[in-house]
């Protein structure tokens, strides 16, 4: 079960003053279809302005999104308690959000070989029902803008962080902050039009809004996280939590009592140390499917001097790696022993992020996206994770050869930098 967060960017209103209607071509293509001439785009008024978002750390980015609030205040006063609606008015709005998506991005995105349904939907609410106006095959820019203006259709881009660097940069940091996958969708809706029928999302939501232009939603990943802990423990606490939730009416007083009793048992056993929270599967699922770090490709391949015993080193991409201790089969007798896995997301595919595509088989993934060490290396790996800088000779391993081999293995995965 994966926990996730969703970002939604919604462009309406004055955004569409930039669009001019496509002109009909005088010449018809074979088959009688008319080719729409791409519209002319006015230069975005804020193209050269710097973003107001702060990327120094995941927490800094999140707080720059919810400013003037601080994250502590947000989680103590709003998270799972009450809605938060932040608006950016006047000149503050465009400078705050303009780098996320502009109408001029439509044409460049279409050149990426987008396909209807997989990447783009054309939708409109007609008589209270959703009407899909998609064509077959590749998305053409002219046809897209024609539907936008003439048919009052809304354009929905699925997971634009696959193509738009600024969204990749933002979502990668938010994934570090929340410890959950962060997906996004872009909706572009003409004035006096409706994309979808009235509906609601049964999750915790807060919205960041640039008046008349963009909306962001973040969905709370806490509920599935708690549910997984209970499901993993169902053999110890009796009736499964998901069975109570899914098979009975949530309005029933008896259902609520059973669920409350189950969660109390879980809480008591966790507090007393009788119940182990096995979240390794969730951690691995998150690492396997999250965005790779926002950086140039050369930083994701081994570079710099090879570590030597006299060097001081620093662990790289700490936010993109996890350390787990798991049983590993050894030899042909199927015997098991505990080993240390250092898993990371440096080799993840940005193009398949949040698209429901399995990136790699589990067995191969352990080899290509992580390292395996003996259990005796756990303390040394944790040393590197906890320290900003660490002389290799101070690693808590019995021999210099073991220290050097650990450093070389991490360096080969671009996880270690020699100072």
Highest mean pLDDT out of 30-34, 141-145, 407-411: 407-411
Using DSSP's 3-state secondary structure scheme, residue 218 falls into: strand
Predicted pLDDT at 325: 87
Spacing of C-alpha 197 from chain mean position = 26
The candidate with the shortest Cα–Cα distance to 372, out of 402, 342, 414, is 342
How far is residue 353's CA from residue 159's CA, in Å, rounded to a whole number? 7
* Residue 402 to residue 325: CA distance in whole angstroms: 19
Residue 418 is predicted with a pLDDT of 93
Please give the structure tokens belonging to residue 190: 């003409």
Lookup: tokens for 272: 């007393």
Tens digit of pLDDT for each residue in 327-342? 875 655 566 788 999 9
What b/e string do you get for 13-51 counting C-beta neighbours within 10 Å, with b at 16 or more? eebeebbeebeeeeeeeeeeeeebebbeeeebebeeeeb
Helices (H), ranges, 186-337: 222-232, 234-237, 241-247, 253-272, 280-289
Predicted local distance difference test score (pLDDT) of residue 161? 92
Query: What pLDDT, on the 0 to 100 scale, is given for residue 35?
Result: 38
What's the fold here for domain 280-418?
Answer: Outer Surface Protein A; domain 3 (3.90.930)
Q: Which pair of structure tokens corresponds to residue 283?
A: 């951690």
Question: Cβ atoms within 10 A of the Cβ of 153, count?
Answer: 24
From CA 386, how far away is CA 379, in angstroms rounded? 10
Percentage of the chain with pLDDT > 70?
Answer: 66
Overall CATH class of domain 4-220 = mainly beta
Q: How far is CA 156 from CA 14, 106, 159, 160, 262, in A?
A: 18, 11, 10, 10, 41
Model pLDDT, residue 139: 92
- At 54, phi and psi to the nearest 5? -110, 125
Main-chain dihedrals φ then ψ at residue 124, nearest 5 degrees:
-155, 145
Q: What is the pLDDT of residue 104?
A: 79
Pull the structure tokens for residue 117: 């349904």
Using CB atoms within 10 A of its CB, is residue 136 exposed (0-12), middle (13-18) or buried (19+)? exposed
Query: Measuring CA to CA, which residue among 109, 119, 208 is closest to residue 166?
Result: 109
pLDDT digits (tens, 9 = 90+) for 367-413: 456 899 999 999 999 999 999 999 999 999 999 999 999 999 999 99
The confidence score (pLDDT) of residue 208 equals 45
Mean per-residue pLDDT over the chain, rounded? 75
Give pLDDT, residue 388: 94
- Residue with the larger pLDDT of the pair 393 and 105: 393
Tens of pLDDT along 33-89? 433 333 333 334 344 445 678 999 999 999 998 888 899 998 899 877 888 877 776
Tell me the per-residue pLDDT of 204-256, one tens digit each, with 9 for 90 and over: 555 444 443 434 444 444 344 444 444 444 444 444 444 444 444 455 777 77
* Residue 265, pLDDT score: 80
The SS3 assignment for 292 reads coil
Cβ–Cβ < 8 Å for 328, 337: yes
Residue 288, both tokens: 């396997």
The DSSP output letter for 157 is: E
Contacts of 69 (CB under 8 A, 6+ apart): 63, 78, 84, 86
Place of tokens 């940091």: 173
User: What would the two tokens of residue 71 be?
Assistant: 């994250």
Q: Is 195 exposed, middle or buried (0-12, 13-18, 19+ CB in 10 A)?
A: buried
- The position carrying tokens 């040393």 is 383
């Amino acid at each position: 079960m994966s926990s996730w967060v969703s970002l939604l960017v919604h462009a309406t209103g004055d955004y569409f003053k930039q669009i001019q209607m496509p002109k009909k071509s005088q010449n018809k293509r074979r088959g009688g279809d008319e080719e729409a001439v791409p519209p002319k785009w006015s230069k975005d008024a804020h193209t050269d302005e710097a973003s107001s978002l702060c990327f120094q750390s995941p927490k800094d980015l999140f707080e720059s999104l919810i400013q003037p609030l601080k994250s502590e205040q947000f989680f103590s006063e709003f998270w799972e308690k009450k809605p938060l609606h932040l608006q950016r008015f006047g000149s503050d709005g465009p400078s705050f959000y303009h780098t996320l998506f502009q109408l001029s991005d439509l044409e460049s995105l279409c050149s990426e070989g987008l396909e209807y349904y997989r990447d783009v939907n054309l939708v409109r609410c007609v008589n209270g029902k959703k009407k899909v106006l998609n064509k077959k095959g590749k998305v053409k820019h002219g046809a897209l803008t024609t539907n936008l203006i003439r048919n009052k259709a809304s354009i929905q881009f699925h997971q634009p962080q696959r193509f738009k660097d600024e969204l990749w940069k933002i979502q990668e940091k938010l994934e570090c902050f929340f410890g959950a996958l962060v997906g996004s969708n872009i909706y572009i809706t003409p004035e006096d039009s409706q994309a979808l029928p009235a509906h609601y999302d049964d999750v915790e939501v807060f919205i960041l809004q640039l008046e008349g232009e963009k909306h962001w939603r973040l969905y709370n990943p806490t509920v599935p996280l708690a549910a997984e802990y209970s499901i993993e423990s169902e053999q110890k606490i009796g009736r499964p939590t998901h069975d109570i939730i899914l098979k009975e009416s949530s309005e029933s007083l008896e259902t609520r009592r059973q669920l409350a009793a189950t969660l109390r048992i879980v809480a008591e056993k966790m507090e007393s140390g009788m119940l182990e929270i096995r979240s390794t599967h969730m951690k691995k699922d998150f690492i396997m499917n999250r965005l790779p770090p926002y950086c140039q490709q050369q930083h994701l391949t081994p570079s710099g001097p090879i570590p030597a015993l006299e060097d001081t080193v620093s662990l790289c991409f700490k936010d993109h790696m996890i350390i787990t201790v798991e049983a590993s089969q050894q030899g042909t007798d199927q015997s098991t022993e505990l080993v240390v896995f250092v898993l990371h997301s440096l080799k993840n595919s940005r193009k398949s992020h949040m698209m429901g595509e399995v990136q790699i088989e589990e067995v191969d993934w352990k080899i290509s996206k992580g390292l395996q060490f003996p259990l005796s290396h756990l303390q040394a790996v944790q040393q590197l994770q906890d320290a900003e800088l660490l002389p290799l000779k101070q690693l808590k391993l019995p021999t210099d050869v073991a220290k050097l081999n650990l450093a070389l293995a991490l360096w080969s995965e671009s996880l270690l930098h020699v100072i």
